[in-house]
Chain A
Amino acid sequence: MKRIKLLLLSAFVCIGITSAYAQTKVSGQVTSSEDGQPIPGVTVIVKGLSGVGTSTNIEGKYTLNVPAAGKVLVFSYVGFKPQEVEFAGKNVVNVVLVADSKRIDEVVVTALGITRSKQALGYAVSDVKGDELAKARSQNVVSSLSGRVSGVQITGATGQMGGGSRIQVRGVTSLTQNNQPLFVVDGIPLDNSDFSYGATGGGGYDYGNLGADLNSDDIESISILKGASATALYGSRAANGVVMVTTKKAKQGSQNWGVAVNSSVTWDKANIIPVYQKEYGGGLTYTDAQGGKNGFLTEVINGKEYKLVDYAVDESWGPKYDPNIKVLNWNAFDKWDTENYLVEKPWVYPKNDYKYFFRTGVTYTNNVQLTGASEKGSTRISYTNMDVTGIYPNSELKRNTISFNTNYNFSKYLEGWATATYVTNLATGRPETGYGDRNPVQKMWQWIHTSLDYKELSAWKNPDGTQRSWNRSSWDNPGPEYTDNPYWTRYMNYQNDRRDRIFGNTGLTLTFTPWLKLTGRLGVDFYALKQEERMAIGSQAQSSYDLYARSSYDVNGEAFFTINKRFLDDKFGLSSILGTSVNDRQSNITGGTTVGGIVIPEVYNLTNSVSKATSRDTKRHKRINSLYGNLTLDYNRLVYVDLTARNDWSSTLPSQNNSYFYPSANVSFVLSELEAVKSLGFIDYAKIRGGYADVGNDTEPYNLSNYFTAQTPFGSDPRFSLPTELANATLKPEKTSSWEVGFEAKFLKSRVGIDVSYFTKDTKNQIVPIQVSAATGWASLWINAGKMENKGWEFQVNGVPVKTRNFTWDVTVNLSTLENKVVDIAEGLDYLNLGNAPFKVKVGAYKGLAYPVIYGTDFVYDNAGNKVVSSSSGRYLASAVKPLANVNPDFTGGITNSFNFKFNNGIQVDASVLLDMQKGGHMYYTSYMWGMYSGILAESSVLNDNGINIREAIKYKYTDGTEGATWKAGAKSIGGGLILDAVYGRYDALTGAVTYLNADGTTSQVAVENTKAISAARYGSDHYSGPDMQNIFKTDYLKLREIRFGITVPKKWTGPIDGLRISFFGRNLKTWFADQQHFDPEYLQMAGSNAQGVEGGYLPSVASYGVGVNFNF
């Protein structure tokens, strides 16, 4: 305490000393010559006096105490010509800065958080301003990047509250390891892990990627470093690019304080949602021969015969709706429910169908920030509260973020800073994703009666607390046969989680001379995450409770020199970084799972387990030490050469191979500095660039030797098992090599700008658990193998079609192509499996094709391209398993149109529209497969060529004019069912040969057209039994990603409030060009998984509408 007092005292003394000199107070405002608007952030220094200076505030105003020696003020700002003003005797100096179209020295944040002039870079960097993200806030900041950056593909969780977002920069590099870019906040890596589970469509929870902890209100800008050159300084973790986040800081030297408020409300509505058939109800249809009446089974209850809906069957092949038929529904058998007990109801499509289940989600976001600054330092404190109610019953997420940063110039040699963010996430009732018992929509799209009324279902509990499931085992047995009531699932079998996280860094910069600095910093990212999942007693499945407690420590220590010097009359420039870092990561998982169910209902604790609960306990530790350096030389700001080198030592690799070195080299040539170009007049800026880089990568901890896994003992006998992956003590680091060339230019007073890049990226020596025939006793062996290749074009074009004093229209277009190829997997291996979908198809890498592919059975085609059906049944034949379709798109793009209009009375109106598209990917929809199998989806009830519903009975007219239900030679279909457009044949799976057949099964020399009808139920169930290709659709889309409209009211009408802006916005409002009508083509199973491309239980995507208000004091 004493020491702190002393520090404080000395700080005051310092301030006191500086103000003791004779000084003149100068103030004024800086405006732009272009539009007369004030320019914030203009640097104001006193010529000849280092250390004296300030910058303008948001109104372009500044105040500066100038020592007596000062004579001239220098005003400078990016994109404007610097201006020197002699102020002798004046106390107010107002300045109009003139835009400098010749030198557009944009700055971007690059590796290590170092700000550099864009002109000096030999690689592509895209940046997005934080304001853009905060104006139409989304729950996950990664999602807001969608469509804004070329070369980056973003897939957002469709509608999961707090769900993850996947980001892929310039394609995929690793066959099996993490392919997500590194997140870096203010120079320090941030953990973007994802603890979701249920990749490839199995059941699981989407816990979101941890990058979602970034708060858009605290972000100043995001730079995406795409190429390996850009990321070479970050090493292993950056092989997939870097998302560099710079947080907001108070502007130092503004000698001011301010308060800013940003609030918004967003409403989420289920948007793209499967389309049901509405003609036929649930259950099965029973013929009279099977004992049915009007298709229903009957039962005599209390002496009266009733028609019963077949609730034990969770499909929708029931009788056709007919309001004149009265039936007993699932809720007609509970005596206490007097309103419904044995009450017959008309057989009609429900008044409150499945859409009734989804509510309007609401998100409130409120942010307050306080900034203060002086000449010596600045501080910013920000608090954000986000409160989300999901579109599912019983779902909510609360996130509170407090962020703090401060910096202080202790002396002219020493500057220090500290920044910290504390985030807490509290979620209850995240929806389960994929094919899982706790995912109500898995039932709704795949196994349900379309005739259920959800308002009736919402009475999900009996007075004794037991479940009321529609899926009764029988009329007199209320136990659920397969499926819980979706409301029971939401209210009883919910999960909850809590994550507390602190990340931040602190450091010092020592300025030896103006050109030599030493920076040391320490960054910490710590979180504790508790996840609880439950299954209540009385559910269809055995009751259970699962607890995961995770914690992670990610510590980065770093020290580096920076050198910046120009020589020989400013002709030559040199800048260099030389540094070392240590990255130490540790994580722990503890927790357990109940065994045999839980004892006391609704007590969710591992001690409440029927048998002894199993425990989990995993610790992981990894360290990477590094040395790195960078050298940039330029000649007259015309030619730049940029070299980097890094060596990593990783604890995860064997000692003989644990050191790996990788260099990069880039050249850029600023054409616009040439007199010949300058004389053309219309080119403001032009640069060509090119570079090469290598990046190495290590592996996960403990991959070098085989370990036994301790299993739960059998009785009192311990059980130890061998691993299924054979470890390898001689692993080598992975290596990614990349080339890129680019061109960027600005024309016509910067009204048009373009930026084009072409890149190639190869990853070799991949560390892969290569699958082997299990007859070896192993599922896979860890080896160095495989090669992946990516190449692509990236275009970014900015234009200002209209610019007047009051009106501006800006357009930004970005387009990217990506050609990805798995060049090689391992000797003699064509296919590397990444995951199995819950029932059919796999996802994996296939030699010679883009990564990853969906792998399964196709239709069988003859040489003429006809589909082939069985001659005995008229049903599709399925091919041998093979790669069917690629998952990732090869073409993505976005276009933003922004408009700004200023009325003469000072009111400003702004509007923007963002469209976003992708093309070339595919998805396997398990929900489509079962939705057709179960007669739920619209395509299971359509009219055939005869104009009759395919569900109606098959009928033929024979050549002799008679009619019947069985096919005969020459028969013509005149009834229901459908005839597949195909020819008869036989298929040899080993050789792939197709033999034509006649309708009677004899061999034919020519193709014979199929005339055999199959029933709708057969057609539906063949989506499971037949070719997998039936359930694969393209994932192309064009989306109205974001639209927003804002009004800014001038200060003169708002009193103490400044910059009052009211905005309206919408996100994901419309999707065009989807290949099917049921599912959002943008579907993310699990952000951290490579095995994308398989859907297991799609949650509807949401459209969001919002209103926001922000202002400053």
Chain B
Amino acid sequence: MKKFIRYSLIFGLGALLLAGCDKNFEEINTNPNQSDASPTPYIFTYATRQFAFRYYDVWYSGRQSAVASQQWCQRNYTSEDRYQFRDNVMDGFFRNSYIWMLNYEKIKELNTNEATKGNMSAYGDNKMQIATCDIMETWIFQLLTDSFGDIPYSQAFDPVKYPKPKYDKQSDIYKAMIAKLKQAVVDLKASSKGWTSGDVVYGGDISKWIKFANSLRLRIALRASKVDNTYIAEAQSAITDGVFESNDDNAVFSFIGTGDPNEAPIYSGFFTENRNDFTLTKQFTNLLKGQDDADKGFVNPFNGIVDPRLAIYRGPTMGTNTIGIPYGMDDTQTGAYVSANSNVINLKPDTKRNVFSPVNLQPEFGSILLDYPTVCFMVSQINNNDATWFLKGVNASLEMWGVGATDAASYVTAITAKWTAATAEQKAEMVATSKYIHLYTQFYEAWSEYRRTGYPKSIVKPGERTAVVGGVNITFEPIPGFESGKDIVARFKYAISEYTLNQTNVKAAATSMGGDDLSVRVWWAGGGKQ
């Protein structure tokens, strides 16, 4: 027994000493689920799909720019139509933009870092990878700064050095974006090996990326040209450097089919989520129908001409006299309008009424980053509303949207007649309005172009009459506390998270812009309160 006790004591003490150092700790804390390395094409696909989906979905587009541009309105629960955008959605829109862009930053780093760039060059020239990421980032930054005004740019993506990035002036961001795109084109021209895989925009075609970069530079320059005419020359030089030449060059992220992550965002909202929240506004529908708007007092520049794209945007339908919903009514008014008017356009298919999905509700519908028709309209605009480029734009748009040749020809004939009789100002309105019609589904662009040009004039401003129902006038009024001044929403308010996480800088930016209000115009739209 004594021996037993002695051995037990030794055993017990030994066990005590065993604790402490554990050689296996590193192995135990090695993540078996995930990898700390990734080939760059996988990251590129992820980031690009993220933006192509989320920027065009029923939240970041649908409940923000789609209603701001008045192409869509909500069939019920119209808070966002009246400028109470959802804090959480807006916050996600701002935050996710940077968080997803970090993936492009990572690709750039993997192609710069001496330790990794060699391996990564297997997927395409290092310079080429960096350039395509810069083009994508520029495209994103333009959308962001156009939405908010001044935003963090020069100090972004460096949490250690700049945990609280300052907000750069939009004018500076525009300058930097132009420079980025020029450098990207230089680098692309010096590259021979495009993306070997994962290029979900151009399938590794470097020449198309070059055209995309130049076209984007044109867009940026044109937008800035209203307040800074040095950008007119910049725009001309972008055109000279080679922009899109046909719809084949379009920068489109094509979705593949049903099921996440392959399906298109609007399809997902209408079918996967199974909601039916949006339809065309009365204003946009009537614009396409070639009708004036007596309620607002709008005279249609294409009066009397039915746009063949109406049938495409609205979708095949049995009824011929379908109507949109007057923009900006409150919930009760909208609900009453939908219930009382069975011929309100229903984008969602309703087999009972023989209504089928329009093209942009298809699971394969692509997210358009920038396209040839837009380029045509831009060339027309930068050249004082040049007629040839205007008509090229209209034709290309009709082609892109799939309008049949006969319909297209008669439409072009009709608007050409109008054009011939038009004054310079009417021409400007016709180009801008045509561009707005073409930009359907590119809601951020449609909204920005209205803010730049003031066209189309069918847009209802606060205080204007949007409809007369049963003899009662209904005016569009933003919800108190969400007023936008004399015109439609001029920008979005900054994300609320910035007020807790980056307060000094966001307040400085707000103050410098003239307030964090929906009524404050961004720099390229003239700045100050409207």
A interface residue numbers (CB < 8 A to B): 284, 286-292, 297, 310, 312-313, 317, 413, 473-474, 476-477, 481-482, 510, 512, 518, 520, 540-542, 559, 561, 578-582, 595-597, 610-612, 614, 617-619, 621-623, 625-627, 647, 649, 651-652, 655, 658-659, 701-702, 704-712, 714-715, 717-722, 724, 726, 771-779, 781, 828-831, 833, 836, 839-840, 870, 872-873, 875, 877-878, 880-881, 989-990, 1017, 1021, 1024-1026
| Chain B residue contacts of A839, Cβ below 8 A | 86, 88
* A1025 close to B481 (CB less than 8 A): yes
Give the contact stretch, choosing among B223-231, B320-328, B332-340, B415-423: B332-340
Smallest Cβ distance from B501 to chain A, in angstroms? 5
Task: Identify the interface centre among B29, B156, B336: most chain A CB within 10 Å of its CB.
Answer: B29
A-contacting 9-mer, from B306-314, B394-402, B449-457, B468-476 = B468-476
23 sample A-B contacts, Cβ–Cβ < 8 Å, listed by A number: A290-B336, A510-B8, A540-B274, A542-B271, A611-B258, A611-B262, A627-B19, A649-B25, A651-B22, A705-B31, A714-B261, A714-B262, A717-B42, A718-B41, A718-B42, A720-B35, A724-B99, A771-B500, A775-B155, A775-B165, A777-B157, A833-B500, A1025-B84
Tell me, yes or no, whether B115 is within 8 Å of chain A by CB.
no
Contact B259 A596 (CB under 8 A): yes
Bound CA span A779–B41, Å: 23
Tell me, yes or no, whether B248 is within 8 Å of chain A by CB. no
A-contacting residues, B499-516, CB 8 Å: 499-502, 505, 507, 510-511, 515-516
Q: How far is the CA of A614 from the CA of B262 in the complex (A)?
A: 12
Contact assessment for B256 and A715 in the assembled complex, using a CB-CB cutoff below 8 Å: yes
Given known pairs A652-B29, A655-B25, A714-B49, the reply for A773 and B152 (CB within 8 Å) is yes
- B residues 330-361 near A (Cβ < 8 Å) are 331-332, 335-336, 338-340, 342, 350, 352-353
| Alpha-carbon gap, A712 to B9, bound state (A) | 56
Interface 9-residue window, one of B101-109, B184-192, B404-412, B434-442: B101-109
Report how far A229 CA is from B269 CA in the complex, Å: 55
- Expressed in whole angstroms, the Cα–Cα distance for A495 and B291 within the complex equals 53
Are the C-beta atoms of A625 and B152 separated by less than 8 Å?
no
Interface residues of B (CB under 8 A from A): 1, 4-5, 8-9, 12, 15-16, 18-22, 24-26, 28-39, 41-43, 45-47, 49-50, 76, 79, 84, 86-88, 94-99, 101-103, 105-106, 151-152, 155-159, 162-165, 197-198, 200, 256-263, 271-276, 331-332, 335-336, 338-340, 342, 350, 352-353, 469-472, 479-482, 495-502, 505, 507, 510-511, 515-516
Known: A707-B34, A715-B262, A775-B152. A580 touches B18 (CB 8 A): yes
A14 CB → nearest B CB, Å: 15
The closest CB in chain A to the CB of B268 belongs to A542
- Which of A289, A542, A872, A1017 interacts with B480 by CB under 8 Å? A872
Q: Which of A561, A658, A710, A1025 contacts B25 (CB 8 A)?
A: A658
With contacts A649-B25, A772-B163 taken as known, whether A717 is within 8 angstroms of B516 at the C-beta atoms is no
Partner of A708, one of B15, B34, B162, B332: B34
B20 pairs with A777, CB closer than 8 A = no
Complex Cα distance A697/B272, Å? 43
Cα(A726)–Cα(B102), bound, Å: 12
Please give, as numbers and ranges, the residues of chain A lying within 8 Å of B30 by CB-CB distance.
702
Indicate whether A297 sits within 8 Å of B261 (C-beta atoms), given known contacts A313-B335, A721-B46, A778-B102: no
**Contact of B272 with A596 in the complex, beta carbons under 8 Å:** yes
Q: Looking at the assembled complex, report how far the CB atom of B430 sits from the nearest CB atom of chain A, in whole angstroms.
A: 36
Instruction: Please tell me if the beta carbons of B274 and A542 are within 8 angstroms of each other in the complex.
Output: yes
- Say which residue of B9, B79, B263, B274 sits within 8 Å of A518 (CB atoms): B9
Query: If A596-B259, A714-B49, A776-B165 touch, does A284 touch B22 (CB 8 Å cutoff)?
Result: no
- Evaluate contact between B84 and A286: CB separation under 8 angstroms: no
B153 to chain A, nearest CB (A): 8
How close is B318's CB to chain A, nearest CB, in angstroms?
14
User: Do A541 and B273 touch (CB < 8 A)?
Assistant: yes
Whether B274 contacts A649 by the Cβ 8 Å rule is: no
Residues of B within 8 A of A510 (CB): 5, 8
Closest residue of chain B to A781 (Cβ to Cβ) is B159
Per CB-CB distance, the 8 closest pairs between chain A and chain B, nearest first, are A289-B470, A611-B259, A777-B102, A596-B259, A775-B152, A774-B95, A707-B34, A773-B502
Contacts of B273 in A (CB 8 A): 541-542
Could you say which residues of chain B place their CB within 8 Å of the CB of A707? 31, 33-36
Bound-state CA distance A722–B40 (Å) is 11
Cα–Cα, bound, A595→B262 (Å): 10
CB distance from B151 to the nearest CB of A (A): 8
Q: In whole angstroms, what is the CA distance A664 to B340 when docked?
A: 75
Q: Measured between alpha carbons, how far is A836 from B102 in the docked complex, in Å? A: 23
Nearest opposing residue in chain B for A544, CB measure: B272
Rounded to whole angstroms, the CA-CA distance of A878 and B483 in the bound complex is 13
Question: For residue A714, which residues in chain B have a CB less than 8 angstroms away from its CB?
Answer: 45-46, 49, 200, 256, 261-262
Which B residues are in CB contact (< 8 Å) with A597? 272
Are A778 and B22 closer than 8 Å at their CB atoms?
no
Interchain CB contact under 8 A, A580 and B31:
no
> Is A705 touching B36 in the complex (CB atoms < 8 A)?
yes
Q: Tell whether, in the assembled complex, residue B94 and residue A774 are in contact, meaning their CB atoms are under 8 Å apart.
A: yes
| A717, B41: Cβ atoms closer than 8 Å | yes
Contacts of A313 in B (CB 8 A): 76, 335, 339
Q: Point out the residues of chain A lying under 8 angstroms from B200, CB to CB.
A: 714, 717
Q: What's the minimum C-beta distance from A1043 to chain B, rounded to whole angstroms?
A: 44
A595 to B258, CA, bound (A): 8
Expressed in whole angstroms, the Cα–Cα distance for A836 and B338 within the complex equals 32
Instruction: With A289-B472, A626-B19 given, name 9 new contacts (CB 8 A).
Output: A312-B335, A619-B32, A701-B29, A714-B256, A722-B103, A722-B106, A775-B98, A776-B159, A781-B159
Q: Which residues does chain A contribute within 8 Å of B20, judged by CB atoms? A: 625, 627, 647, 649, 659
B479 touches A1025 (CB 8 A): yes
> Are B99 and A718 within 8 A (Cβ)?
no
Of A310, A477, A541, which one neighbours B274 at CB under 8 angstroms?
Answer: A541
Known: A561-B12, A714-B261, A718-B42. A773 touches B480 (CB 8 A): no
In Å, the complex CA distance between A471 and B528 comes to 46
Q: How far is the CA of A705 from the CA of B500 in the complex (A)?
A: 27
> In the bound complex, what is the Cα–Cα distance between A246 and B353 (angstroms)?
68
Chain A's closest residue to B332 (CB) is: A284
From B36, B162, B335, B471, A289 is in contact (CB under 8 Å) with B471
| Contact residue among B45, B338, B353, B500 (Cβ-Cβ distance under 8 Å from A312) | B338
Knowing A581-B19, A595-B259, A708-B38 are in contact, say whether A310-B87 is a contact too (CB < 8 A).
Answer: no
User: Is there contact, CB below 8 Å, between A288 and B99?
Assistant: no
Docked pose: A828 CA to B275 CA in angstroms: 42
Separation of A520 and B18 alpha carbons in the complex (Å): 14
Q: Are A828 and B164 in contact (CB under 8 A)?
A: yes
Of the candidates B16, B197, B339, B495, the one having the most CB atoms from chain A within 10 angstroms of its own CB is B339
- How far, in angstroms, from A831 to B259 measured CA to CA in the complex? 38
CB distance from A653 to the nearest CB of B (A): 8
Within 8 Å CB of A659, what residues of B?
A: 20
Interface contact A776-B157, CB-CB below 8 Å:
yes
Report Cα–Cα, A771/B43, bound state, in Å.
Answer: 24
Contacts of B350 in A (CB 8 A): 473, 477
Question: A990 contacts B9, CB within 8 Å?
Answer: no
Q: Is the CB–CB distance between A610 and B258 below 8 Å?
A: yes
Cross-chain contact B261 with A712 (CB below 8 angstroms): yes
Set of chain A residues within 8 Å of B497, measured between Cβ atoms: 771, 773-774, 833
Alpha-carbon distance A710/B261, docked complex (angstroms): 13
Complex CA gap A707/B47 in Å reads 16
Roughly how many angstroms separate A622 CA and B32 CA in the complex, as a whole number?
A: 12
Which A residues touch B502, using CB under 8 A?
773, 775
Task: Give the complex CA separation of A773 and B505 in angstroms.
Answer: 10
Residues on A with C-beta less than 8 A from B352 are 476-477
Which of B19, B33, B498 is within 8 Å of A625, CB to CB? B19
Q: Say whether A712 contacts B260, CB under 8 Å.
A: yes
Given the complex, which residues of B lie within 8 Å of A652, measured CB to CB?
A: 29
Tell me how far the C-beta of A965 lies from the nearest C-beta in chain B, rounded to whole angstroms: 11
CB distance from B27 to the nearest CB of A (A): 9
Known contacts A542-B273, A626-B19, A881-B496; A297 and B339 CB within 8 A of each other = yes
